[in-house]
Amino acid sequence: MKRSSAEIVREYGPFPGVERVGGVTYDGQQVWIAAGDRLNAFDPADGKTLCSIEVAAHAGTAFDGKHLFQIAEDRIQKIDPKTGRVLATIPAPGGGGDSGMAWAEGTLWVGQYRERKIHQVDPETGAVLRTIESSRFVTGVTWVDGELWHGTWEGDESDVRHIDPQTGEVLEQLDMPPGVAVSGLESDGGDRFFCGGGSSGKVRAVRRPKRGAAAESDPRISVDTTRK
């Protein structure tokens, strides 16, 4: 397993009126954060809040290219980001114990925090298509370039990890500094992860590890064979 310290390249926030950041997603232009009673969008270039939607937003957030999906207690809402209207609702697989959420392969991928699971969910019915077991509490979930990553948060420790979507085996791990939590997680499709900071009210941009020859020559990446 490859293991390294997370490289935090930027911090956003705290944001006015936001006490806690839950889910995080990216629509290609702006970053959306779940802030309890609303969804806020900010510009990742300057961190300025661009708009807000008044809707229950307690945990994971996802974007399918057109609509937002937002966990609100024991349900998942499909939202039109232009109007803020809730178009449909499906049950959340964890029944209220859900955490992060991502969109990939035409389906939703939903973390179940304390049960240490990630569920692939039919976005039309809420049916669970399959389940992946993790070794730690699951927070945010994201896919990038065919890789499944999720955040963890237990006690004072958090990390962002790349796992095998078939077995749940940890392939790569980025350790956050002590006391820095990861609540939500989203990739920008490039070299950054946006990590929700829970009660800090912040979002942190973490550098995604390089691939190929660039990664092999990067001294920051070490191989740890003692922890799986």
Q: What pLDDT sits at residue 21? A: 97
Could you count the other beta carbons within 10 Å of the beta carbon of residue 224? 11
Pull the structure tokens for residue 39. Answer: 């969804």
- Residue 156: its pLDDT value, please? 86
Rg (CA), the chain: 16
Q: Which single residue is written with the structure tokens 């962002």?
A: 160
Q: For residue 37, how far is the Cα from the chain centroid? A: 19
The share of the chain scoring above pLDDT 70, in percent, equals: 93
Tens of pLDDT, residue by residue over 83-92, are 999 999 999 9
Which alpha helices (DSSP H) does the chain contain, by range?
A: 213-216
| 81: preceding bond cis by omega (within 30 degrees) | no
In DSSP terms, 186 is beta-bridged to 194
**Residue pLDDT, tens place only, 208-228:** 998 764 444 344 333 333 332
- Residue 228, domain member (yes or no): no
Structural domain of residue 159, as residue ranges? Answer: 2-223
In a domain, 81, yes or no: yes
- pLDDT recorded at residue 186: 98
Give residue-wise pLDDT tens across range 132-161: 999 899 999 999 999 999 999 998 899 999
Mean pLDDT for the chain overall: 92
End-to-end distance of the chain based on CA atoms, in angstroms? 7
Number of domains the chain is built from: 1
In a domain, 51, yes or no: yes
Is residue 79 domain-resident? yes
Q: How far apart are CA 115 and CA 119, in angstroms?
A: 11
Under a CB-based contact definition with an 8 Å cutoff, are residues 193 and 185 in contact?
yes
Separation CA 227–CA 71 (nearest Å): 32
pTM, two decimal places? 0.90
Residues contacting 194, CB < 8 A, separation 6+: 24, 26, 31, 44, 184, 185, 186, 187, 188, 203, 204, 205
* Better-scored residue on pLDDT, 216 or 165: 165
Is 138 inside a domain boundary?
Answer: yes
Say if 147 falls within a structural domain. yes
Among residues 66, 55, 65, the alpha carbon closest in space to that of 23 is found at 55
Amino acid (one-letter) located at 127? A
Q: What is the pLDDT at residue 216?
A: 45
Pair 113, 150: CB distance under 8 Å: no
Q: How confident is the model at residue 199 (pLDDT cuts 50, 70, 90)?
A: very high
- Does the residue 190 lie in any domain? yes
Give yes or no for a contact between 51 and 75, defined as CB atoms under 8 angstroms apart: no
pLDDT at 131: 97
The CATH number given to whatever domain includes residue 29 is 2.120.10.30
Residue 88 lies in a domain: yes
